[in-house]
Amino acid sequence: KCRATVRNRLIEAGLRACRPVVRHHRQQRRLWVQTHCRWTKQDWQKLLFTDKSWFCLTRSDGRICVYRRRNEHYTEACTLERDGGGGSVFVWGCVTQHHWTELVVIAGNLNAVHYREDILLPHVVPFLQAHPDLTLQHDNATSHTTRSVHDLLQDRNVSVLPWPAKSPDLNPIEHVWDLLGWRVRARAIPLEIPRELAGALVEEWGYISQQELANLAQSMRRRCTAVLNAAGGHTRLILTPLCSGTHYSISVSHMSGTCSVYVCC
């Protein structure tokens, strides 16, 4: 059978796939949560959580496998006609329990130069200078760990929280991405082009409520406990961010971290 069919049957049976966490990363994750599990809600409120995500106009990223014989590349049975639309939008954002910056729509890849010039200097540094009690959280993406980025943050006296690799489930902003996807999907008028999707994401980002932000910091002790219970391995928090239940067939999805996450309801 086609891999997609097998994968769909596994999902229907309640099974989910994710990349395995190697022993070194499991140890890092376990050590990190052991260090921070006694943090209070007030401690977590002093973090600026950041992340980037892809939002797609189609349910998948387009990678469809077909089993075929030699010289059947272009036969009708082995090709798929696509309708109009499609495309994706790359965004970056940051939140605390009480604040959030504007959502940044990114053109192209977010390398170290773009991260420094388009994210840190115009958005992160001014925000943290206005709120000097906050500490920056960002993951270990290559664009975040270069010497130029490190020097900039050090020169601007930005405090950075060390973050374990392979840990999207520890970052509560993942729930915000799912919330955005759910709200954009619920719009009465379907989105057809990336520009419309970008506009809808920015608009819905501005509608995030204070209570929704407050829930982020309040979830951190639960996240740490889940990682401890999993001995540093994967937790369910990245797979069921908003509510438990089954996956719906949707037209807007987002991909963040090491896995694709579809809106749950």
pLDDT at 68 exceeding the cut of 60: no
Contacts of 217 (CB under 8 A, 6+ apart): 41, 44, 45, 47, 96, 97, 172
Average pLDDT over residues 1-27: 67
For 215-236, what is each residue's pLDDT tens digit?
Answer: 888 899 999 999 999 999 988 7
| Nearest-10 crossing angle of helices 210-218, 173-185 | 140
Name the nearest CA neighbour of 258 among 144, 167, 182, 146.
167
Domains, the chain: 23-261 (3.30.420.10)
* Contact assessment for residue 68 and residue 240, using Cβ atoms and an 8 Å cutoff: no
Highest mean pLDDT: which range of 59-68, 131-140, 179-188: 131-140
pLDDT at 99 exceeding the cut of 80: yes
Over pLDDT 90: what percentage of the chain?
56
* Contact assessment for residue 112 and residue 148, using Cβ atoms and an 8 Å cutoff: yes
Alpha helices, H only, the chain: 3-12, 23-36, 41-44, 112-114, 125-130, 147-155, 173-185, 194-205, 210-218, 220-229
Q: Is-above-0.85 flag for pTM?
A: no
For 115-160, what is each residue's pLDDT tens digit?
Answer: 999 999 999 999 999 999 999 999 999 999 999 999 999 999 999 9
